[in-house]
Amino acid sequence: MKLLPTIASPADLKRLSIEQLPELAAEIRQAIYEQVSKSGGHLAPNLGVVELSIALHYVFDFGYDRLLFDVGHQCYPHKLLTGRLPGLAGLRTSAGFAGFPEPRESSYDLFSVGHAGTGISTAVGMARGDTLNGDGFDPAKAPNGRRVVSIIGDASIVNGVAMEGLNGAGTLKRQFMVVLNDNGMSISKPQGAVAHYFDKLRISSAYSGMKQAAKELLASVPGGGAVREAYHKMGEGMKAVLNEGAWFEHFGLVTVGPVDGHNLPEMIEVLREAKNFDRPMVLHVKTIKGKGLSFAEKDSSTFHSPAAFTVIGDPDSSNLENEGCRVEIKKDGRSFTAAIGDIMVEAMGKDPKIVAATAAMPDGTGIAKTLAKYPERSFDTGICESHALDMMAGMAKTGWKPFFAVYATFLQRAFDQCFQEVSLQGLAVRLLLDRAGLVGGDGAVHHGFCDVAILRVLPQAAIMAAMDEPSLKAAVEFMRTYDQGLSSVRYPRDSVSDRFAKEACPAFELGKARCLTPQFDLGAPGNNGAGVPEVAVLAFGTCAIDAMKAFDELQGELRVCVYDARFAKPVDTDLIARLLKAGVPIVTVEDHSVVAGFGAAVVEAASDLNLDASRVVKVGLPDAWVYQDSRAKQQALVGLDAQGIAKAIRKAAALASTDSAPEVHVKVAGGVARSSK
């Protein structure tokens, strides 16, 4: 009989004997592997925390105690242990569970978590709140109080916010546990001095004695009044065991480990003793990313978050090449990420002053290609977006041309640096914003929905979007020579379109759009007597390709002129003025929030020109959260597919003679309605 289907809650887990838990771990690992191979998702990170997740739920009661994740993509085993096995089949879609902790799904998930470094700080906050409420655990005064555990991993311990959290944790005068899931990896090999410290710790001669030392010290903790004495004993004991001193003890945290995160009896024994500490502590757990699948262990970067894949041969073979096993990952065409990697290699070959950086995402941003080709001019800072952007500012100050490749959602973590160290100084730092707009299965925690809004306030900023690979290359060339301030180009987690591949791509000119349908361009020589267009579409980024699909649908029905807007700052004021003065309604389309985005910039420009801005209709992401599903379904949901854009164009045309612009209503999950007027 299978064990996993019997686990409707952690209470069912606790009914199993310790001897049965390895069997459960194997079933969880197999279930995750089978589903991710079909749908894609975070594979290697979750395979590495199966036993750790089981041990934590076996010892603690997280229906009452607090469990906070730092790296949220390690939550699949946790979800399976908290009764969500039926949702695995719909992983990362609206029919199943999210790929990150999601409080809408379960009370066992306390925060929606998609950005690294935050878990310790939020856990400190809950620990303080519980204490103030009189609910906090105290071995003498409140033995039934709530305990707090924060699990952090995939090298996010080096994040600046995590350091601030550790600093705060050290001031607590109560139980508090940070579980450091140390798998020697972030998404790729972790970078920086702290990461190197843990590497050195793992290979030191002291490693083999640490588990036994921790075990012996914990064995002396009977609980209650003896905890305080054991705390002091452990502080001295671990200093003797850890080479170069216990690093975390500088934060005022007891340090235990590393212990084997795949040895369930040992993990459970350690956790049972450690949960009764009355002081904050770090439990250093050593795990293997991709544990249980040889190909995921050998290449955990590729299998960190793969698309759907097929294994041909034996997935348990230890040597893929010699034993005939290979893994084929589904590909949907050339991605923007692959394109930017090649574009940057070419640009760095032409211009020796260009430098490139990424924050722990070399494969996800394409910078792996420049790291291989130009290692002396390419940098991976680890999960440190703020540091990376400050470093780029410093390099700009010394005469270099820095390009920082970062997911749009993670740019938010470095906005202060965009403001203070870049724009305020008048420095030219260039941002390559991958995963802009809707991101599909990663959902609300990862949508790049506000990069235009936060960057548009910065003086002299040049904010762009690319609709295809040639325009991305042209944008990078523009940024290379733009020295007036910060510049950025955004592009989605999607394949590049080849619709305009055979046409020459004009160079980017500051604040100028590109007409994609010259036969309908107002007043242009190529108008061929077609007259004034009935509607003009100004589309930002890849939305221009979707607008062209809507144009195809409307052929013979409406005269529509489609423009690749290219710039959200500065917008093409000459074009806006020309269209509105001719009475042509404008539909703006963007894969970004309608709040403070490209469409808002067009409306503001019209107002500044004393023109009637009521004829500008904004179509974009609604002022509501869009949850996990395929990118195509998300686009259809919010009206950003070809059909939705065509609908907006028809309404704009139908109401062009009225005093107010049409309202395009969008309904998203949860029944939240939004007007895009």
* Active-site residue, selected from the candidate residues 385, 534, 553, 590: 385
549 is catalytic: no
Contact 101, 72 (CB under 8 A): yes
Q: Which two tokens stand for residue 168?
A: 């705060």
Exposed, middle or buried: residue 117 (CB in 10 Å: 0-12, 13-18, 19+)? buried
Mark 359-390 as b/e (b = at least 16 C-beta within 10 Å): bbbbbbbbbbbbbeebeebbbbbbbbbbbbbb
**What is the spatial distance between Cα 374 and Cα 371, in angstroms, rounded to a whole number?**
5
* Active-site residue, selected from the candidate residues 174, 211, 289, 650: 289
Helix 631-638 vs helix 642-654: crossing angle, to nearest 10? 10
Exposed, middle or buried: residue 507 (CB in 10 Å: 0-12, 13-18, 19+)? exposed
| Nearest Cα residue to 487 out of 444, 530, 455 | 455
* Active-site residue, selected from the candidate residues 84, 275, 413, 651: 413
321 is catalytic: no
Residue whose token pair is 């619709």: 499
Q: Give me the DSSP letters along 355-397.
A: EEEESS-HHHHSTHHHHHH-GGGEEE--S-HHHHHHHHHHHHH
**What is the spatial distance between Cα 661 and Cα 677, in angstroms, rounded to a whole number?**
7
Contact 488, 625 (CB under 8 A): no
413 is catalytic: yes
Contact 337, 434 (CB under 8 A): yes
Q: Which two tokens stand for residue 147?
A: 């305990």
* Cα Rg of the chain (Å, integer): 27
Residue whose token pair is 């870049």: 422
Per DSSP bridges, beta strands 176-182 and 148-153 are parallel
**What is the spatial distance between Cα 116 and Cα 384, in angstroms, rounded to a whole number?**
9
| Nearest Cα residue to 236 out of 258, 217, 259 | 217
**How many Cβ atoms sit within 10 Å of the Cβ of residue 265?**
12
Per DSSP bridges, beta strands 148-153 and 66-69 are parallel
**What is the spatial distance between Cα 374 and Cα 509, in angstroms, rounded to a whole number?**
29
**What is the spatial distance between Cα 284 and Cα 153, in angstroms, rounded to a whole number?**
10
In the beta sheet, which residues pair with residue 432?
405, 489
Give the active site residues: 289, 385, 413
